[in-house]
Amino acid sequence: MNKTDCTPFDRSDICPTEGQILQQLLALLPRGRAWQSERDLDPDSGSVLARFWAAFAEVMHFVNRRICAGLDEFTCGTMSETRELWSADFGVPDDCGLWTDVCAKVAAIGGTRCEYFVEMAARAGWVIECRSLQVEGPQADCAIADCAMLVEPRPAILDIVVSLNDSPAWAGGVWPIADCAVADCVQLCAPDPQPLRCVLERIVPAHLNITYEVA
C-alpha cells in the first residue's frame, strides 16, 4: 500500500476477479499426458476441464467477495453490514441524545478540559460555560501544625453556567426544579437540569461535583 492510499487494505492481491481465479487454478494443474492437450488448460478453450474449474472459480470468487466485504467492517468509516453491532458495542444511540452517529463516537477523543465539555454540550444542543474549576482540600500542613486529625479533602467543583435562551435543546416552559412542597423550601429550589446533567455525567470525570446555574 502506498502512502497516498487512504483505503484500509490493499485489495489488489486479495480480491481477484473470477477470471483471474480461473487462470490461477488452471496454472496450478500439472502438465503432461494426463490431459489431452495443452489447449484444455486454456480458460477460453471450452473444454470439460476448463468448464469444471470455471464452476469452482465462481464459488471461490463469491468467497473472496465476502472476505473483501468483511474487511470493510473492520473500520467504522467503511462498515455497512455490521452497523447494528457497532452501535450496540458503543452504546449508540444513548439515552441523553449526545451520540446519534456511531462513527462520531468512535472518533471522539475525549478530554478533561472545559473546552471539551462545552463542545459536547453544544453537540446535544446546550450552550454552557465553565465558570470555575475548583479543587478544595486541606489548607494547613498537618505534619507541621501537629493536627489532632487529618482534614478530609473536599471534592473538586465544576460550575456550569447554562444559557437557556441560546440553547436549541431548551424548548421553553418550566425549568425542572425539586419538589419544594416536600422539602418545605422558603425560596424556590435550585434548578435541576436533568437533560443536560445526563449529557455531562457521561463525559465529566466522576471525581468532579457539578453545580448548575442559569444565565
Q: Which of 13, 16, 27 is nearest to 60 (CA)?
A: 16
Cross-strand pairs, 157? 134, 209
| 80 vs 193, residue with greater confidence | 80
> What mean pLDDT comes out for the span 12-16?
73
pLDDT bin (cut points 50, 70, 90) of residue 5 is very low
Percent of the chain's residues with pLDDT above 90: 22
Q: Which of 189, 190, 169 is nearest to 180 (CA)?
A: 189
Q: Where are the alpha helices (DSSP H) in 149-190?
A: 180-183
Q: Are strands 128-134 and 156-162 parallel, antiparallel or unpaired?
A: antiparallel
Sheet of 156-162: strand order equals: 128-134, 156-162, 208-214
Give the model confidence (pLDDT) of 172-211 as tens digits. Answer: 654 554 454 455 544 444 445 788 888 888 888 888 888 8
93 cis-preceded (ω within 30 degrees of 0): yes
pLDDT of residue 111 exceeding 90: no
pLDDT of residue 7 exceeding 60: no
Give the model confidence (pLDDT) of 42-61 as tens digits. Answer: 888 888 888 899 999 999 99
Q: Exposed (0-12), middle (13-18) or buried (19+): which is 97, by Cβ within 10 Å?
A: middle
pLDDT attached to residue 13: 60
pLDDT bin (cut points 50, 70, 90) of residue 81 is very high
Q: Where are the alpha helices (DSSP H) in 9-101?
A: 18-28, 48-72, 83-90
- The H or E element that residue 64 is part of is helix 48-72
pLDDT bin (cut points 50, 70, 90) of residue 170 is confident
pLDDT bin (cut points 50, 70, 90) of residue 31 is confident
Helix, strand or coil, per DSSP, at residue 12: coil
> What mean pLDDT comes out for the span 76-101?
89
- 79, 73 contact by CB (below 8 A): yes
pLDDT of residue 87 exceeding 90: yes
- Grid coordinates in use for 184? 418545605
Mean pLDDT rounded to a whole number for the chain:
77
Give the model confidence (pLDDT) of 121-167 as tens digits. Answer: 898 889 999 876 665 555 445 555 555 555 566 668 889 999 988 88
